[in-house]
Amino acid sequence: MSNYENCIIFLLAKAYQNAHGRFKKRLAEYELTPIQHLILEVLREEEGLSAGEIGKRLSLDNATLSGVLDRMAEKNWIVKETDLQDRRFLRLYLSVEARTKLPFLLQAREKANEEIMAGLTLEEKVLLKRLLRDLRA
């Protein structure tokens, strides 16, 4: 095995490509990207967040997030409303359409997760998640 095949950067990149590709395929019928799906999940947990608050939770910069949110609003996934206390801010909410499709989207994510970790034991799954969280810090 060559040196690069043992490199953690290479291994993580290839694992990411595999996982991202599988998830992307599952979301294709909804014309939704994995990052858009994450934003919907954040808003499912707490609606009325600003773009900055979503960015902090997902570790995304405002430049990246702005375009994604605009496309989501255009496709009727989210609703933008002006903050009543501070008109400079927009608050983001799930659209009615997003609410109806969310159970199917969550199921798509679960199936992708199961597919990705199908060959792992429960202990390996727990360990993998812990190690990935540690690497994220």
pLDDT digits (tens, 9 = 90+) for 95-127: 999 999 999 999 999 999 999 999 999 999 999
Mean pLDDT computed over 30-38: 96
pTM of the model: 0.86
Number of domain units in the chain? 1
- Percent with pLDDT over 70 in the chain: 99
Are 57 and 65 a contacting pair, CB within 8 Å?
Answer: no
Expressed as residue numbers, the domain containing 129 is: 4-136
CATH of the domain at 88: 1.10.10.10
> How many other C-beta atoms can be found within 10 angstroms of the C-beta atom of residue 39?
28
